Chains A and B, each alone.
Chain A
Amino acid sequence: MPDALYNCTLADLSRRLAKGELSSLELMQSVIARTKAVEGRVRAFNSYDEQDALAQARASDERRAARKGAPSHPLEGIPIGIKDVISVAGQPLTASSRMLANFVSPYDATVTAKLKAAGALCWGRLNLDEFAMGSSTENSAFGVTSNPWDLERVPGGSSGGSAASVAAGEAVASLGSDTGGSIRQPAALCNLVGLKPSYGRVSRYGLIAFASSLDQIGPFARTVEDAATVLGAISGHDRRDSTSLKMEVPDYNRGIAELVRSGRKWKLGIPKEYFGEGLDPEVGAAVQAAIDAYRRMGCEVREVSLPHTKYAIAAYYIIATAECSSNLARFDGVRYGHRSKDAKDALDLYFKSRAEGFGPEVKRRIILGTYVLSSGYYDAYYLRAQKVRTLIRRDFLEAYKEVDAIVTPTSPTPAFKKGEKAANPLAMYLNDIYTIGVNLAGLPGISIPCGFTGGGLPIGLQVIGQPFKETELLAVASAYEQTIDWRNRHPSL
């Protein structure tokens, strides 16, 4: 139903809460009811704490009342789903892994603390590919999340639960994480807006690290405006994250409005390497239609070249696995996490606990990462991959001398069926072709809905921005969004 509470935009709900037409408690109750109605089929959550959520909602209403009409933050009282890889104090933090099945975190991630400071309700622990490694959420140790648009199909990954929950109305917006496309691709497969900020824009403190130099946290939302609101709340320098940037956080929505008012005509680049083999024809057609829409608006559209595109996946799978092999070494059953019952000594403890706790994809990546860092192989693999990474970044920065933003498909195919790619890791990796370079280059990227296949599956358009120019990126995305109404379609759950 188009005007069911659980399908409203964040901006709309925020206005209603501000006007007193709706209480946070009512909103949270409606979200919980919707969750209970559809979770059996969607399985977006690993867990949720109903009592805690209602308590948060009541507290929000009290805070708002105490302000006596003074304005609240737009996120006050809004339920935001949190990927189960971002720490929330007192709540489970499992990374969808048996390794952390019983782990309860004692601290808030910085983004969690920022959401709480804005008055948002931190809602549930959303499913993901184990330790954020995957593109379908099929690698979760606890069960697969279904795409609300077609329950036989995957929602994408690794932030599948974050996408499915918002698409299904089980959260107003959510946080995911993106290392090679894990926000943008699920957003594309679920008809949502998904944003990966520039590397360093959002603190990683409290995000279970997968690839430290590539990971970023970002929002899933129903509109560009909603995504911008959440981004504004979670961005900013964090003294606990040495890789977070000391840069002022603008008011993104105000910035978008100003750019729109200014009548700025964007110069957009279409990378020729992104439209070749492997791209599903319906996806290609929908993306071309979106590019035409930009042309009709008066934007200049030109072809650019990102010549090192074909090396991005290879470079990524060396760098990301190397970093994750080290980041996941801490999971050993000593201080927390799964401990094998059969260990005969401390050494045995490691081998067995890690064998029992990690799923196959995680093991594969740790093994690969260990190999590429091992003695005698560092130069040939890791060092070379980091050099290729420099070339990939240079490609983008060269292109940005001519254009403001780059437009591509987000995913080469729409949502695929469960089990279709699971057996072949390499085939799964090749899905990431359009998103992965963005992480390697540290750039911001957004996926927005740009149509449906004949079979009713969502298609996503990716816009890639310049370093730290999220406002411009959002404005370009918003310009297209104004011309269509894909967001008004909802899955029939």
Chain B
Amino acid sequence: MPKPEDFKLDHVTNLARINLSAEEKERFGAQLGDVLAYIALLNEVNVEGVEPTAHAFPVVNVWAEDVPEPGLSVEDALRNAPEKRDNMFVVPKVVE
């Protein structure tokens, strides 16, 4: 199992797209450190030959026929948009 120092908070918050204040970094870093230390308990378990649980019950081929159904009107689709223009969602420029 990974060591506590493997957890790099800045790298992870980057992946998760969440800014943390300096205070939050300190507080969460400590709290999550405790949780990770606790989670290390799982290392004790012998999981040799054990299949991971994919789903609670084994069912396959759950699908629907290719028949289109009415969707949302443009108004409803954009109703909760923080910013919209010309029936599209506006976001600040995407810098490649």
Do the two chains touch directly in the complex (Cβ atoms below 8 Å apart)?
A: yes
Smallest beta-carbon distance A108→chain B, Å: 13
For window 20-48 of chain B, which residues contact chain A by CB distance below 8 Å?
Answer: 20, 24, 27-28, 31-32, 34-36, 38-39, 41-42, 44-45, 47
In the complex, the answer to whether A384 meets B47 with C-beta atoms within 8 Å is: yes
Known A-B contacts A243-B55, A374-B15; A314 and B24 likewise in contact (beta carbons under 8 Å): no
How far apart are the CA atoms of A315 and B92 in the complex, in Å? 39
Known A-B contacts A346-B92, A348-B92, A390-B52; A385 and B19 likewise in contact (beta carbons under 8 Å): no
For window 79-124 of chain A, which residues contact chain B by CB distance below 8 Å?
Answer: 102-104, 106
In the complex, the answer to whether B50 meets A391 with C-beta atoms within 8 Å is: yes
18 contacts between A and B (CB under 8 A): A106-B72, A242-B62, A311-B45, A345-B93, A346-B94, A347-B94, A350-B17, A352-B19, A360-B27, A363-B24, A363-B28, A368-B36, A370-B15, A371-B7, A380-B1, A384-B1, A385-B42, A425-B34
Known A-B contacts A363-B24, A367-B18, A425-B31; A345 and B12 likewise in contact (beta carbons under 8 Å): no
In the complex, the answer to whether A314 meets B62 with C-beta atoms within 8 Å is: no
Smallest beta-carbon distance A238→chain B, Å: 11
Smallest beta-carbon distance A375→chain B, Å: 9
Smallest beta-carbon distance A172→chain B, Å: 31
Smallest beta-carbon distance A161→chain B, Å: 23
Chain A residue nearest to B75 (CB atoms) is A106
Tell yes or no: A199 within 8 A of B by CB. yes
User: Could you say which of B19, B59, B83 has the most chain A C-beta atoms within 10 Å of its C-beta?
Assistant: B19
Q: A355-B19, A367-B28 are in contact. List 14 more A-B contacts (CB 8 A).
A: A310-B41, A311-B41, A311-B42, A335-B80, A345-B94, A346-B95, A349-B92, A351-B17, A355-B18, A363-B20, A364-B35, A366-B18, A387-B50, A426-B31
How many residues of B are counted as interface, with CB atoms below 8 angstroms from the partner's CB atoms? Answer: 53
Tell yes or no: B87 within 8 A of A by CB. no
Tell yes or no: A272 within 8 A of B by CB. no
- List chain A residues, Cβ under 8 A from B1: 380-381, 384
Tell yes or no: A421 within 8 A of B by CB. no
In the complex, the answer to whether A467 meets B57 with C-beta atoms within 8 Å is: yes
In the complex, the answer to whether A314 meets B38 with C-beta atoms within 8 Å is: yes
In the complex, the answer to whether B93 meets A380 with C-beta atoms within 8 Å is: no
| Interface of B toward A, CB cutoff 8 Å | 1-2, 6-7, 9, 11-13, 15-20, 24, 27-28, 31-32, 34-36, 38-39, 41-42, 44-45, 47, 50-57, 59, 62, 64, 72, 76, 79-83, 89, 91-95
Chain A residue nearest to B93 (CB atoms) is A345
How far apart are the CA atoms of A354 and B20 in the complex, in Å? 10
Cβ-closest 7 pairs across A and B = A442-B56, A386-B52, A336-B80, A339-B82, A350-B17, A355-B19, A387-B47
Known A-B contacts A367-B9, A384-B42, A426-B34; A442 and B57 likewise in contact (beta carbons under 8 Å): yes
In the complex, the answer to whether B56 meets A213 with C-beta atoms within 8 Å is: yes
User: Could you say which of B1, B15, B20 has the most chain A C-beta atoms within 10 Å of its C-beta?
Assistant: B15
How far apart are the CA atoms of A425 and B20 in the complex, in Å? 18
How far apart are the CA atoms of A389 and B54 in the complex, in Å? 10
Q: How large is the interface on A (under 10, 10 to 19, 20 to 34, 35 or more residues)?
A: 35 or more
How far apart are the CA atoms of A345 and B83 in the complex, in Å? 14
Tell yes or no: A358 within 8 A of B by CB. yes
- List chain A residues, Cβ under 8 A from B13: 367
Tell yes or no: A269 within 8 A of B by CB. no
User: Could you say which of A198, A345, A388 has the most chain B C-beta atoms within 10 Å of its C-beta?
Assistant: A388
- List chain B residues, Cβ under 8 A from A344: 92
How far apart are the CA atoms of A383 and B19 in the complex, in Å? 28
Known A-B contacts A245-B57, A308-B45; A426 and B50 likewise in contact (beta carbons under 8 Å): no
In the complex, the answer to whether B35 meets A429 with C-beta atoms within 8 Å is: yes
In the complex, the answer to whether A354 meets B18 with C-beta atoms within 8 Å is: yes
How far apart are the CA atoms of A301 and B90 in the complex, in Å? 63
Known A-B contacts A325-B16, A345-B93; A381 and B39 likewise in contact (beta carbons under 8 Å): yes
In the complex, the answer to whether A388 meets B45 with C-beta atoms within 8 Å is: yes
Tell yes or no: A343 within 8 A of B by CB. yes
In the complex, the answer to whether B53 meets A393 with C-beta atoms within 8 Å is: yes
In the complex, the answer to whether A337 meets B80 with C-beta atoms within 8 Å is: yes
How far apart are the CA atoms of A444 and B86 in the complex, in Å? 49
In the complex, the answer to whether A383 meets B52 with C-beta atoms within 8 Å is: yes
In the complex, the answer to whether B81 meets A335 with C-beta atoms within 8 Å is: yes
In the complex, the answer to whether B12 meets A367 with C-beta atoms within 8 Å is: yes
In the complex, the answer to whether A377 meets B42 with C-beta atoms within 8 Å is: no
In the complex, the answer to whether A387 meets B80 with C-beta atoms within 8 Å is: no
